[in-house]
Amino acid sequence: MRTFLFNTLYWGMSGVYAIACAILGLIPGRFFLMHAARSYTRFTVLLMKYVAGIRVEVRGTPPKNQPVILAAKHQSWGDGIVLMAKTGDINFVVGDHMLKFPLIGWVLQRMGAIVVNNSGGRKSIEALNDGIARSQAEARPILIYPEGHLTEVGETKPFRSGVFRLYRNLERPVVPVATNLGLYWPQQDWAKNPGTAVIEYLDPIEPGLSKEDFMKTLESRVSARTRELEAEGRS
């Protein structure tokens, strides 16, 4: 019953907010649009808690209004929603598949999202470079999922090099983010499981590492801590 009620309220609210954000996207600047987007994420977290029974616990310090790169584990449709609710005004690196959702593609573009080709290659690199150029003057965090796709709980996919390109070219700290949200809101599944989901902001990786050292450090930190949080959630 909880799952049915949550999904009904969540998708209904999402439709309303998508229309509202699309309209607000017509206004020059991002102030009103981002205010509405953050409102949407906060309402979703409230629905998670009071309807689905999923409480979100934040560990570490959310880097609000800081020019950092959030490199996060991606287990759930709710990951980006929760991170925006807890971190504030953030930018997203998203795959071009998101442009297929009605209104969502337009809203993401008006938010300044960096849209890359899911298949990689030259077009993806060009899009990422364009996003890097646009982000130079912005102080807000940039959220990227280094694995590039949703993963099952307990699964790890190879980290892609796009996160290193952001790290190197922007010369910003990278904040690894571990989570076990997939235990409670699995990928894009209909079913939701009550419990306490943890989002943990780990110690930042400062600029200056080589590609090999950076990728190894990031993947080991995110994957190891995520496995620990999954074990904690199961217990």
The pLDDT score that the predictor gives to residue 1 is 84
Q: Distance between CA atoms of 235 and 230, rounded to whole angstroms?
A: 9
Q: Specify whether the CB–CB gap between 128 and 148 falls below 8 A.
A: no
Give me the tens of pLDDT residue by residue for the chain, a chain 235 residues long. 889 999 999 999 999 999 999 999 999 988 999 999 999 999 999 999 999 999 999 999 999 989 999 999 999 999 999 999 999 899 988 887 777 777 888 888 888 888 877 666 677 777 777 777 777 778 899 999 999 889 999 999 999 988 999 999 999 999 999 999 999 999 878 899 999 999 999 999 999 999 999 999 999 999 999 999 999 999 8
The pLDDT score that the predictor gives to residue 119 is 65
Q: Specify whether the CB–CB gap between 36 and 21 falls below 8 A.
A: yes
The percent of the chain in helix, strand and coil, each rounded to the nearest 5, is: 50, 15, 35
The pLDDT score that the predictor gives to residue 121 is 66
What ranges do the domains of the chain cover? 55-234
Q: Distance between CA atoms of 48 and 57, rounded to whole angstroms?
A: 12
Q: Distance between CA atoms of 28 and 177, rounded to whole angstroms?
A: 32
**What is 55-234's CATH number?**
3.40.1130.10
pTM of this structure: 0.90
